[in-house]
Chains A and B, each alone.
Chain A
Amino acid sequence: MARGRIRAKLRKSHLYSFCLFRSSGSGGQSIGGPGFSRTVYCNEPQVLNQKPYRSNIISTTKYNFFSFLPKALYEQFHRVANLYFLGCAIASLTPLSPFSPVSMIAPLAFVVGLSMAKEGLEDWRRFMQDREVNSRKVHVHNEEGGFGKKTWEDVRVGDVVKVEKDQFFPADLLLLSSNYEDGICYVETMNLDGETNLKAKKALEATLGLDEDDNFNNFKGIIKCEDPNPSLYTFVGNLEYEGKVYAIDPTQILLRDSKLRNTEFVYGVVIFTGHDSKVMQNSTRSPSKRSRVEKKMDYIIYVLFSVLLVISLISSFGFAVEIKYSMPVWWFMRPQDADEYYSPKKPVISGLSHMVTALMLYGYLIPISLYVSIEVVKVLQATFINQDIQMYDEDTGIPAQARTSNLNEELGQVDTILSDKTGTLTCNQMDFLKCSIAGIPYGVSPSEVELAAAQQMANDQEDQGELKTLVASKKEKAHKSPIKGFNFEDNRLMNGNWLKEPTAARIMLFCQILAVCHTAIPELNEETGNYTYEAESPDEGSFLVAARELGFEFFQRTQSSVFVREKYTASGKPIEREYKILNVLEFTSKRKRMTVIVRDGEGQILLLCKGADSIIFDRLSKDGKLYLEDTTRHLNDYGEAGLRTLALAYRKLEESEYTAWNNEFQKAKTSIGADRDAMLENAADMMERDLFLVGATAVEDKLQKGVPQCIDKLAQAGLKLWVLTGDKMETAINIGFACSLLRQGMKQICITESGSEDKQEVKEDILKQITNGLEMIKQENDPHAAFALIIDGKTLAYALEDDMKLKFLGLAVECASVICCRVSPKQKALVTRLVKQGTGKTTLAIGDGANDVGMIQEADIGVGISGVEGMQAVMASDFSVSQFRFLERLLVVHGHWCYKRIAQMICYFFYKNIAFGLTLFYFEAFTGFSGQSVYDDWYMLLFNVVLTSLPVMSLGVFEQDVSSEVCLEFPAVYQQGPRNLFFDWYRILGWMGNGLLCSLIIFFINIIILYDQAFRAEGQTADLAVLGTTMFTCTVWSLNCQIALTMSHFTWIQHVTIWGSIAAWYIFLLIYGALSPRISGDAYQILVEALAPAPIYWQTTLLATIACTLPYMAHIAYQRCFEPEDHHIIQEIKYYRKDVEDQHMWTRERSKARQKTKIGFTARVDAKIRQVRAKLNKKQ
C-alpha cells in the first residue's frame, strides 16, 4: 500500500502521551489566527461558505497522463551523458555529422525509451495502488438521514462517517462516539509509528449521545482548528456544538491509516482529507540512492569525456591546419566551391565546426549502451534475488524482494550493518519460559542459548556420553511449542497439579497477579474458543497466556472490573471471579513497576504489583523477604540464560487504609499544575510499600529463526553489526548475549550520562568516558580481546554533537560490537549518518517498523523486514526480506556476485569502447582529420546494440566466481567487496590500458597488411570498405574472446551469447551484403565476393585476435600463479576436487575461517561449552 512514510522525527515517548485520562493543556488560544484558519461545518459539507478543501483523493504518482512525457523526458536528459547524446542526435541532422542520423538517434531513443518505460511502469503501479485505496468504501451520513456507502475519494470535509471494527479510517476524523458508552475506542497505529500495541481514544463528553445512526439527522456543529500540518501528536482546535465551545485535543483525533480495533464502530467527523491528512503530510519520497560503483563510474565517464575532448581538439586542430594549407592544392576536392565548412579561407570556423563532428565521431568512447545495459542487467539480477528459493520464507510465503535494482552491487560492499532489534533480531514475541514461586524454580525448557550450546557440544566428538543424553533430551522438548507466547514446561504446575504443591496458596496468588495486574483487553477467538490478548507490551501478553494455561483465564474487562475464570479449584468446578479495579498505577520507564489495586469477590482489597527486581526488592516488608534469597539466586540464573525477568509482589490492604490513601490520590489526580505528576508519583509511592514477594517470572524475548547463526556468518564475512534499539539497556544487553553480539569475557565499555543538570559537565563526563575507553583499547595486549560498546540514547544525544562525534566514532569502530539502547528514530538516522559519513564506508540499515524508516532511508542500503503487518519500513527500503537470517544470503551470495558482476561489466564496457573508439581516432590521422569513419554506419550501430552487448550482459547477469555454497562456506571471500578489489583505479586503468593496446594492435595490423598490396590472388587491392570490414571483424573477435577470458563460469547461455555474437556478425554481413547496393553501398556482397575467399582476411583476424588477447592472458596467468586472490584458490580447490578427496582438510579450513571472529554465535557457544565442561569436571 502506498502510504506516506513517516518522517523519522517521532520520539517514542510522545506516543505514550496518548495515555487515557490525560487532557492536553493547549486550549484554543490562537484559533482563527494564522495557521489556525480551518473551519469545518459538521454534517453539512455542501454549505456554501465552506471553503473548498482538498478532496480525499490521494495520488502518490509522479506523473499524470499529460505531464508524463515532458516530465519524464526532463528527468532523462537531466543526466549529463544523455544530454551529450541528445546534442549528438540533434547535430546528426546537420551536415556536420559523420554518421547518418538514424545511427545516432536510434540508440538514444532506445535507451531513453527503455528508462522511460521503466519509470512509467513504476508509476502505473503506484497509480493502481492509489486507485485501490481511493475506491475503498466507508459509511457516510447522507441527506436522506441514513448512512450510505461511499468510496473514500468521495468523502468530503465535514462528512460524518461510521467506521466499523478492523477498518482503516478514511481521513483524519474527530471522534464523536463509539459503541462504548464512555466513547472510548481503540486504534492500532502500526502504519504510523510501527507500534503494535493499541491506543485508546476518547470522545468528548458532549458528543457521547450521538451513538446511533438516527441521531445525526439534526447534528450540526462547527469545528475550528489548525491548518494541515505533519505533526502526528498535536492537535489544536475546538468544536462549537449546541451553543457551547469545547476544546479538542489529540485524544479525540483518529488519524488516517490507523485502524479501529476492539471497538464495534465509531462515528466521526472528517476534518482533514486526502493530502491534508497528517499521515500524508508526513510522507516523504524516499531519497534516490546510487551505488558507490555507479558514483565512481561517473568519474570514469568524466575521464573519458576529457579524453574525448582532447582527441576532438587534436582532430579539429589537425583539420583546421589541413584545411588552411592542404585544401587549396587539393584540386580534386574543388576547394573553390567549398562551403564554409571546408573553406580554406576560414580555417578557424572549419576547425570549430569540425569539433562538433569529432565529438560525435568519437562518441563511442562514451558507451551510450552502458547505461541501458546496466539497467537491464540490474533488473535481471534483481529478478534472481526475488526468485531465490533460499530467501523465500515458507511460513509467510514472502520471498525476498529487491525493491530497487539500483543498489545490487552495493550489497557486496557493505561494511557496517545497523540493525533494529525488535521485530528484526527478535520476533517481538515473548515466551513465558520459567518462573520462581515461593523460592522454588519451575520450568525445564531450555533457552535458545542453552540449546545451541548443547547442540554444538553434541557435534564435538570428544564429548562425554552424559552430555549427549542431556542434549538429546533437550532437543526433543525444544520441538513442541504449540502455544504462542508460552514455552513453559513443568508437570508440577501444569494441568492443575499445582494444587498438590505445598505452596499452592502462593502459586495461586502468583497466578492471580499475572491474570489481574495488567491493562490488556481480552479477545475471543471464535474458531478455537480461546482468548487472545491485546496487551500494551508482549511481556504482558505472555503473562496472560501463562496464567490462562495454568488455569487462570482472564476473559472480560469492563470499565471497572476484571473477570478471571479459575479452571482448577479444590472443588473441581471452574469458578468465575470478579476483581473490581480500584486504581491502576501505570508502568512508566521511570517507575519500572506497575500496580493495580483491586477488590476481590470477598471484598478484600489487594495491591498487586509487578516490576523490575531491584525496584521491588527495595519495597518489601520484613516478612515479605521470606523468599528473597532463593528468588535472587534464580533471577541471576535466568539472567545468565538471556531471559527477561520481573518480580511479583502483593500486599493486603485494610479498608480504612485504602480509603485514606485514595483520598490523597484523588486529590493529586484532580489537581492542576506543574507539580501534578510529582504529587501522583508521591501518592503511588506511598502505597507501593511493605510488599510481600511472591516470585519472579522469566520470559524469553524470542529471537527470530537463525539470527545467531546469521550474525555469526556476517561476522565471519568481516561485517560489523551495530544494534540500535529503543529498549532499555538491560534488555539490550540481554539480547546482545542472546544473539551472540556479546559474550562472557568480552570487555564491555558502557557509556552513560551522569545525570547532572549542567550540560557542559555532562559532556565533559562523557568525553572522559570515551577517552578512557579508547585508552583501554590501546593498552590491551591480548590480540584476541574483544570490546563491546554500550551507550544509551541520552548519552548518544551528546556524543552525536559535532565536537564529540568523531571521537565517539573512533571508539565505536574499535569495538567488535556496538549496542545503542533507548535511541529515538531520529537518533537512529543520525547514528547511521555518522557511520556513513565518518567512516566513509558502506552502511546497511535493517529494520521492520516505522521508527526505522529514517535509518533505512539514511543508510546506503535500507533493508526492510516484510511479513509483519506494518509496511512502512518495507515501503522505504531498497530491499526487503522476510527474516533477518536471509540477510546472510542477500549479502554474502547475491551482494558478492552482483558487485563483481557489475564491476567487471563496467570495466569491460570501457575496455571495449576504448578499443573500438580509438581506432576511429587513429584513422582520422590518415584522412586529413576529415571526420571520415573507417566503418560503415551500420557496423557502428550494431556494435553496441548486437555484436558486443549480449556477452557483457551475460557476464553481468550470470557470472559466478565461486558458487553460492562456497560463498556461504567461506564468508571471508566477501571482503573483496568492502575492500573494493574489483573496482579500484588500478584495475579500471588497467582495463583502459588494455583497451588502448587492443586498439593499437587492431588498427596497425590492419593498416599495414591492407596498405597498398593486393589482398587477393586476383590482384584486387583493399578499399575503404574492405579495410573497415576486416578491422571490424578483428574487433568483434578480439572483444568477444577477451570477455570469454574474463569469465570463469560458462553455462550454455554464455557460450551462446559469446559465440553467437561472433556468428551474428557474419550473418549480418551476409544479409547486409545481399541487400541492394542502393542501401549497402560498398558493402554489397563484401563477405561473399571479396573477403571470404581471401586467406589474408582470415589470417589477419586470427593474428589480431591472438595478439590482442595475449597480453591479458599472460597477465591473468601470472596473477593466478604468483599473486592469487582468494577466489582463485577456492576455484582451484573446487577444480581439483580437493574438497571431495580430503574432507578432513576441507572441514578444518572451514572451521579455521571462523576463528578470527570475535563476536558471533560460534564464539558464544565456545564460551558456553567451556562453562559446562568446567561444571562437569567439578562434579567428577
Chain B
Amino acid sequence: MDTDRERHRARETAFYLFTQQSLPACKPVLTPGWVIAIFLFMGVIFIPVGLVTLRASHCVVEIVDRYDIDCVPEPSRMDKVSYIQDDSIPKNCSRFMKVHKYMKAPIYIYYQLDNYYQNHRRYVKSRSDKQLLDGQKYHDTSYCQPVESNNNRPIVPCGLIAWSLFNDTFEFIREGAELKVNRKNIAWKSDRGHKFGKNVYPFNFQNGTLIGGGKLNPEIPLSDQEDLIVWMRTSALPSFRKLYGRIEEDLDVDDVVVVNLMNNYNTYSFGGKKKLVLSTSSWLGGKNDFLGHACVFVGCSSLTLAIIFVLLHVKYRRPYGDMSYLPWNRKSFSG
C-alpha cells in the first residue's frame, strides 16, 4: 500500500514538474574546454579511421578494359550502330588483360556501362514486382509500359528494364586454359529467394518485333536467372558497374588473361562506353580512396579547428560567466 501511494505521489510530482516546465534537465554549455575536447576527439577518431580505410582501398587490385570501340572491326567504326544492329555479322572479339599485381581470389568480374540512364523515371517505373513474383497469374501489367504485351499476350518478365537486359558475354582464358567463372550467387539472396518467382518462367519474351537486349532461357525459372536479377536492380547513377561473375582462382603478376567476348549490347547509339573490370575486394568493398581521403580531411579539419580555438582562447581569453558581458554592463546596450 505504502509503496503504491509513494509511487502515486512520485508520479504526481513528475506530472506537476512537467506541467510547470521544470523537469530535471541537463543543460550543457559549450565551454572552451568542451569545444576543444570535442574537436580533438573527432580528429583523433577520424584520422586513424581514414588511414585504415585508405590502406584497405590500396589493397584492392583492379583492372579496367574498355572494349566498346576496339571490338568493332576497323571498317565498321564509321557506323557502329548499324554494325551492332546487323545480326549477320559475328560479334565475337578477343581482349588481352595484363595482371599488374597479384590478385587474390575471389576476383570479381564487372561490366561497366557509361551514359546509360538506368535511373530514368520512365525506365525505373517500367517493371512489375508482382509479376516477377507471381508470373502470369498477375495480370495487371500496366506499370510495364511500353513493353507489357506482344501479340496480345503478356510478356514475362515485362517492362523496359527486363527487355533491355545486358547481353555481352565473357570467357576468360589464362595460359590456354579456361578460367572457371562462377556465375552463381551474384545476385542478392533475398532477391533470388523472395523477389523472383521460383515457378515463373520467361514467356513471350523478346519475341517478334519487340527485341531489345538479351534473351532468357524459357526453361529456367526467373529466380535462377541471376543476370536478369542483377540487371533488374536499377543503378543509381548513369555510370555503373554490375557484377558478372567471380573468378575463383588467384591471378599472378604478369599473367595475361585472354577475354573472349560477344559484343552484342548496343551502347553505340547513345555513345555509351562499355568496360570490363576485374577487381579484388577488401573488407571495405572495392577500390574507394575517396572515403579514406574524406575521413582524413574531416579529421584534419577538426584538429585544425581545435588548434585555432586553443590559440584564440590564449589570445582573446574571455572569462566565462563574466558579468561584464551582461547587457547592462555593456555600453552598446541601448535598451
Give the interface of A toward B (CB within 8 A).
98, 326, 329-334, 337-338, 342, 384, 387-390, 718, 926-928, 930-932, 934, 958, 960, 963-964, 970, 972-973, 975, 979, 1005, 1007-1028, 1048-1053, 1076-1078, 1081-1082, 1084-1085, 1089-1090, 1094-1096, 1099-1100, 1103, 1106-1107, 1110, 1113-1114, 1116-1117, 1120-1122, 1124, 1126, 1129-1136, 1138, 1145, 1149, 1152-1153, 1155-1156
B237 within 8 A of A: yes
Closest A residue to B326 by beta carbon equals: A1129
Q: Are A1020 and B241 in contact (CB under 8 A)?
A: no
Closest A residue to B292 by beta carbon equals: A1099
B198 within 8 A of A: no
Q: Are B30 and A1116 in contact (CB under 8 A)?
A: yes
Q: Are B243 and A1021 in contact (CB under 8 A)?
A: yes
Choose from A338, A1089, A1132 the contact partner of B320 (Cβ within 8 Å).
Answer: A1132
Across the A-B interface, the 4 shortest Cβ-Cβ residue pairs: A1013-B286, A337-B146, A332-B164, A1132-B321
B139 within 8 A of A: no
Q: Are A1129 and B190 in contact (CB under 8 A)?
A: no
Can you report 11 A-B residue pairs in the complex whose CB atoms are below 8 A from each other?
A: A927-B238, A958-B21, A1012-B237, A1014-B281, A1015-B286, A1017-B284, A1048-B28, A1106-B46, A1114-B305, A1117-B30, A1131-B27
Interface string of B143-179 (1 = CB under 8 A from A): 0011100000000000010011000000000000000
B136 within 8 A of A: no
In the bound complex, residues from chain B placing their C-beta under 8 Å from that of A331 are 164, 212, 266, 269-270
Q: In whole angstroms, how far apart are the Cα atoms of A333 and B123 in the complex? A: 6
Closest B residue to A388 by beta carbon equals: B20
In the bound complex, residues from chain A placing their C-beta under 8 Å from that of B333 are 972
In the bound complex, residues from chain B placing their C-beta under 8 Å from that of A1022 are 236
Interface residues in B91-140 by Cβ distance below 8 A to A read 106, 108, 110, 112, 116-117, 119-124, 129-130, 133
Q: Are B301 and A1110 in contact (CB under 8 A)?
A: yes
Contacts A337-B146, A1008-B290 given; does A98 touch B121 at CB 8 Å: yes
Choose from A926, A1010, A1129 the contact partner of B322 (Cβ within 8 Å).
Answer: A1129
Interface residues of A: mostly helix, strand, loop or mixed?
helix
Choose from B313, B325, B335 the contact partner of A1124 (Cβ within 8 Å).
Answer: B325
Choose from A1011, A1129, A1134, A1153 the contact partner of B239 (Cβ within 8 Å).
Answer: A1011
Q: Are A1018 and B281 in contact (CB under 8 A)?
A: yes
Q: Are A334 and B288 in contact (CB under 8 A)?
A: no
Q: Are B294 and A1103 in contact (CB under 8 A)?
A: yes
Q: In whole angstroms, how far apart are the Cα atoms of A1049 and B27 in the complex? A: 5
Choose from B121, B242, B283, B325 the contact partner of A932 (Cβ within 8 Å).
Answer: B121
Q: In whole angstroms, how far apart are the Cα atoms of A1131 and B119 in the complex? A: 51
Interface string of B294-335 (1 = CB under 8 A from A): 110010011001000100110010101111011111000101
Q: Are A1020 and B243 in contact (CB under 8 A)?
A: yes
In the bound complex, residues from chain A placing their C-beta under 8 Å from that of B130 are 1078
Q: Could you tell me how many residues of chain B have their Cβ less than 8 Å away from some Cβ of chain A? A: 99
Choose from A964, A1025, A1049, A1085 the contact partner of B25 (Cβ within 8 Å).
Answer: A1049
Q: In whole angstroms, how far apart are the Cα atoms of A1124 and B31 in the complex? A: 12
In the bound complex, residues from chain A placing their C-beta under 8 Å from that of B321 are 1129, 1132-1133, 1135-1136, 1138
Q: In whole angstroms, how far apart are the Cα atoms of A1136 and B33 in the complex? A: 13
Give the interface of B toward A (CB within 8 A).
19-32, 35, 38, 42, 46, 49, 53, 106, 108, 110, 112, 116-117, 119-124, 129-130, 133, 145-147, 160, 163-164, 186, 188-191, 194-195, 212-213, 233-243, 246, 266, 269-271, 279, 281-288, 290-291, 294-295, 298, 301-302, 305, 309, 312-313, 316, 318, 320-323, 325-329, 333, 335
Closest B residue to A1054 by beta carbon equals: B25
Q: Are B233 and A1025 in contact (CB under 8 A)?
A: yes
In the bound complex, residues from chain B placing their C-beta under 8 Å from that of A1078 are 129-130, 133
The smallest C-beta distance from A997 to any residue of chain B, in angstroms, reads: 14
Q: Are A928 and B146 in contact (CB under 8 A)?
A: no
Contacts A333-B160, A389-B20, A1135-B27 given; does A1103 touch B236 at CB 8 Å: no
In the bound complex, residues from chain B placing their C-beta under 8 Å from that of A1050 are 25-28
Q: Are B238 and A926 in contact (CB under 8 A)?
A: yes
In the bound complex, residues from chain B placing their C-beta under 8 Å from that of A718 are 335
Q: Are A932 and B124 in contact (CB under 8 A)?
A: yes
Q: Are B190 and A1103 in contact (CB under 8 A)?
A: no
Q: Are A1027 and B236 in contact (CB under 8 A)?
A: yes
Q: In whole angstroms, how far apart are the Cα atoms of A1015 and B290 in the complex? A: 13
Contacts A333-B120, A1051-B24, A1110-B301 given; does A1099 touch B318 at CB 8 Å: no
Choose from B233, B288, B328 the contact partner of A972 (Cβ within 8 Å).
Answer: B328
Q: In whole angstroms, how far apart are the Cα atoms of A1131 and B194 in the complex? A: 57
The smallest C-beta distance from B200 to any residue of chain A, in angstroms, reads: 13
Q: In whole angstroms, how far apart are the Cα atoms of A98 and B305 in the complex? A: 42
Q: In whole angstroms, how far apart are the Cα atoms of A972 and B326 in the complex? A: 9
The smallest C-beta distance from B163 to any residue of chain A, in angstroms, reads: 8
The smallest C-beta distance from A837 to any residue of chain B, in angstroms, reads: 23
Q: Are B30 and A1120 in contact (CB under 8 A)?
A: yes
Q: Are A1013 and B213 in contact (CB under 8 A)?
A: no
Closest A residue to B34 by beta carbon equals: A1117
In the bound complex, residues from chain A placing their C-beta under 8 Å from that of B322 are 1129
Choose from B22, B121, B195, B313 the contact partner of A1077 (Cβ within 8 Å).
Answer: B195
In the bound complex, residues from chain A placing their C-beta under 8 Å from that of B35 are 1113, 1117, 1121
Q: Are B236 and A1013 in contact (CB under 8 A)?
A: no
Q: Are A330 and B270 in contact (CB under 8 A)?
A: yes
Q: Are B38 and A1113 in contact (CB under 8 A)?
A: yes
